[in-house]
Amino acid sequence: MLNTFLPSSILPLAQVTGGDDSVQQLEAVQQAWDARWEDIFATSSGLYLGINQFASIILVGAFLFFAVGWVKEAIERGIFPALPNVLWVLTIAVLLFNNGALLGSATLGIRNLINAQTQTVLQVQVGEVSMLEALNDVILSQQAKAVIQQEYAACDAQTGQAQVDCFIRAGERAQQRLEEEYRSRGFWSAGLQRLWSRVQ
């Protein structure tokens, strides 16, 4: 039905209502997580200070517990076999120094590096489509599928010819919704174009 009044070159470009909302909600969630990471690893955060104090207690306890073994090993075999174990404890002590400021900044730096690499991957172009556009297309297509599934859900309880008639009416309503969406947006995504061809 839509094919009769729309040029075929325009059809592969669709979108569904709510897709912009989903993308905005995902961005808001990402910003909230960014803020949460900053809050948790800030040196003034009560949670982070508590974790560091607890880790410092464990560090001191472990150092005292293993110190006897390290001294014994250093006396029997020399200082070099015991040195790696002592270096690990010193490394942890350096990371926890100054309420874990170095550990917090290193953790945030690694997270930011991973996020930057993820963004780089999402910006990779395959032909004319970036990974980010492809992911957004999947989100929009899933929303359209949910809308169409709602149209067909009422038909499950029916049997025989009544079910067939219900499926036909649901298909017509689904086509109508997709057509209205095209008219309101003026374009469709590739995922919705595939969905349109299945509904027809």
Q: Tens digit of pLDDT for each residue in 21-38? A: 666 777 788 888 888 888
Assess contact for 16 and 56: CB atoms under 8 A: no
Q: What size, in residues, is the chain?
A: 200
Assess contact for 100 and 43: CB atoms under 8 A: yes
Q: Chain-centre distance of CA 8, in angstroms?
A: 35
| Distant-in-sequence, close-in-space partners of 93: CB < 8 Å, separation ≥ 6 | 59
Out of 21-30, 65-74, 99-108, 161-170, pick the least confident: 21-30
Out of 18-22, 85-89, 117-121, pick the least confident: 18-22
Predicted model pTM: 0.47
Q: Tens digit of pLDDT for each residue in 68-93? A: 888 888 888 888 877 887 888 888 88
| Domain boundaries defined on the chain | 42-96, 114-199
Nearest to 21 by CA among 158, 163, 139: 139
Q: Chain-centre distance of CA 110, in angstroms?
A: 17
